[in-house]
Amino acid sequence: MIISSLITGFTIGIMGSFHCVGMCGPIALALPVGNADKWKRFFYILLYNVGRASAYSLIAIFFALIGKQIFIGNYQQFLSIILGVLILFFLFFSHFVTIKIPFFNAYTVQLKNYLSLLFKNEKHTYTFYLIGFLNGFLPCGLVYVALAGALATADVLQAILFMSAFGVGTFPIMFLVIVSGKYISMSWRNRMRKAVPFFIASMAVLLILRGLNLGIPYISPSLKATENGTEQTCCHK
């Protein structure tokens, strides 16, 4: 199932990275790599993206340790259904109601202030990693969807690998944006962003199906309760 988690996480990253163009694109395009030679630019961009992936993995570790009690308590299927329903709920009502949470607003402002300092201060090699690392902690609906998928796995290690693969999956588009962002028109970026809600909705449906225990390989595997949590009875040897 580790391979399955890696593939799923990577796929979410690839498909959802169009959302990153709108959310992280401005930060990525502002990276001070213009005067560097080709290989240094590549290295700096890589550091930025590794920083983002590191942040996602750290978030996964935190939530996976909390979610471990849910796995032990055999509530994994219930959690998967609830997460899927919540994602659909917020996705639907976000078109009609703007939800503002004071804590998140203050948190986002503070995080952006730290990012601004990194852009203004003297640039070091590790600066690009730190920019990506802090970027990874900015509130992002797509990251929350990926976290929901990670927590719905049956193992803490799988949850961490899931989020790491998700981060790696966002690399290609973000590389393209940084290297040739000026050639991607705003109208095309908006089109890519409009496709994201449909992808998020499909992920929510998959989470619900996974929790229904229908015995469909990889989509809704059959799980049985054990003394140590849950065990998958199909899709593995």
CA dist., res. 216 & res. 25, Å (int):
37
CA dist., res. 135 & res. 24, Å (int):
7
Q: Which pLDDT tens digit goes with each residue over 59-89?
A: 988 877 776 665 545 566 777 788 888 888 8
- Let me know: does 1 contact 155? Beta carbons within 8 Å: yes
CB within 8 Å of 192: residues ≥ 6 apart:
18, 19, 21, 22
Q: Collapsing DSSP states into helix, strand and coil, what is residue 140?
A: coil
- Nearest 5°: phi and psi at 231? -135, 135
CA dist., res. 115 & res. 74, Å (int):
41
Q: Which pLDDT tens digit goes with each residue over 101-139?
A: 666 778 888 898 999 999 887 678 889 999 999 999 988
Q: Is the pLDDT of residue 224 over 80?
A: no
Q: For residue 28, which of 135, 185, 172, 184 has the smallest C-alpha distance? A: 135
Locus of tokens 């395009």: 29
Q: Which pLDDT tens digit goes with each residue over 146-198?
A: 888 787 766 778 888 888 999 998 888 888 777 766 556 667 667 766 777 78
- Let me know: does 162 contact 9? Beta carbons within 8 Å: yes
Q: Is the pLDDT of residue 222 over 70?
A: no
